[in-house]
Amino acid sequence: MKRITPLIAVLALVFAVGAVVAMKPVRHAEPPPFSPPIAKFESSVGAVGLVEANTENINLSCAVSGLVTGVYVQAGDRVQPGQKLFTLDGRDLEADLAVKRAALAAAKANLAKLEEEPRAEDIPPAEARVREAEANLGNAQVQLELIESVHDKRAVREEDVQSRKFAYKAAQAQVADAQSTLALLKAGAWAPDLAIARSDVAHAEAQVKAVETNIDRLTTRSPIAGVVLQKKVRAGQYAQCGPLSEPLMILGSVTPLDVRVDVDEEDSWRVRAGAPAIGSPRGDGAQKISLQFVRFEPFVVPKQSLTGDSTERVDTRVLQVIYRIKEADTPLHVGQQMDVYIQTPAASRAPLKHSDPAPGGVQ
């Protein structure tokens, strides 16, 4: 029994090893799902590029917050400068505008009234009052002359004489008053009154213009000729103004397309202005797209577009280089990633100043 036990253990071990070897999967070499991109330049810098509009992607917001009442475009629509994109609720401003317009109409009517003075109907009564006053003056003068023509002063009372003198002076004053009133009427409105009325009209017009401007700000219009790249705004939605994590709408001009290439800062000195580049869409390394240098972005920024490589440093800063896709019919979309290779001199050993003008670069 003691001899059989070791033998059984050895047989079990052999069986276990054989089972493991037999059940081990056989791995066959398989081709990659797509060909990796290959640089055709003798010396180059590899980088990741992001396709964008040549105007850069414009994240649209609204001037004021409010309820969306109308959306006039869809994603993919081509728009022209000034074209309406969406509108917010403006019923309160419309009501205020009606009040301001009524005030403007009243101010204009008051100004027109002053400018039309004197009314033709007001002059004849004023002239009649002048004639009446002159007649009263004549009567008072006759009465005064009669009492003064009496030779015997004892025949009249001094009180009557003084009374007729005062009546004569009062009649003279009435004539002067009627004549001045007629002259004032014929002169029309006073210049300062006209100035005040014109100022009232200008103030009312400014108030109407202010409300109209606020109403116009409720409508977001296209600032450029381009394409609606993304639409996240819908009728009935409350649109918040200011910078948003998800913009209400994205616009851009896509003819032609640009590629924003992130070159790691340790390789940035090797990239020269005007250097040609080749790009391949992610997943299609066989497709080679010629890229034309446009410009450098002077400010080096933290890296945001990550490739997912385990050796990739996330604290790297990158120099952004803008390239333009030469072929207009290239099947690319805004936001798509590309593998980009930028040609560099074979013996690059010193950093280059990126502030130098780009020879042959697109302006």
Number of domains in the chain: 1
Whether residue 288 is contained in a domain is answered as yes
Looking at per-residue confidence, does 129 or 101 come out higher?
101
Give the range of the structural domain holding residue 262, as residue numbers without chain letter. 44-54+254-343
Whether residue 275 is contained in a domain is answered as yes
Q: Encode pLDDT of 144-156 as tens digits.
A: 777 777 777 777 7
Lookup: tokens for 57? 């992607």
Q: Report the CATH number at residue 273.
A: 2.40.30.170
Whether residue 238 is contained in a domain is answered as no
Whether residue 150 is contained in a domain is answered as no
Measured between alpha carbons, how far is 150 from 144 in angstroms, rounded to an integer?
A: 11
Rounded to the nearest 10 degrees, the angle between the axes of helix 158-187 and helix 123-148 is 160
pLDDT for position 1? 57
Whether residue 242 is contained in a domain is answered as no
Whether residue 266 is contained in a domain is answered as yes
Q: Encode pLDDT of 221-269 as tens digits.
A: 999 999 999 999 999 999 999 888 899 999 999 989 999 999 999 888 9
Q: Encode pLDDT of 285-303 as tens digits.
A: 788 899 999 999 999 998 8
> Residue 33 — very low, low, confident or very high, per pLDDT cuts 50/70/90?
low
Amino acid at 309: D
Return the half-sphere exposure (C-beta side, CA atoms, 13 A cut-off) of residue 5.
2
Measured between alpha carbons, how far is residue 48 from residues 64, 129, 271, 279, 352 in Å? 37, 97, 14, 9, 21
Whether residue 258 is contained in a domain is answered as yes
Instruction: Name which of 353, 252, 211, 343 is nearest 296 in CA terms.
Output: 353
Q: Does the pLDDT of residue 160 top 90, yes or no?
A: no
Mean pLDDT value of segment 190-203: 92
Whether residue 94 is contained in a domain is answered as no
The lowest-confidence range among 129-133, 198-202, 352-356 is 352-356
pLDDT for position 363? 42
Q: Encode pLDDT of 312-333 as tens digits.
A: 556 689 999 999 998 878 889 9
Average pLDDT of the chain, as a whole number: 85
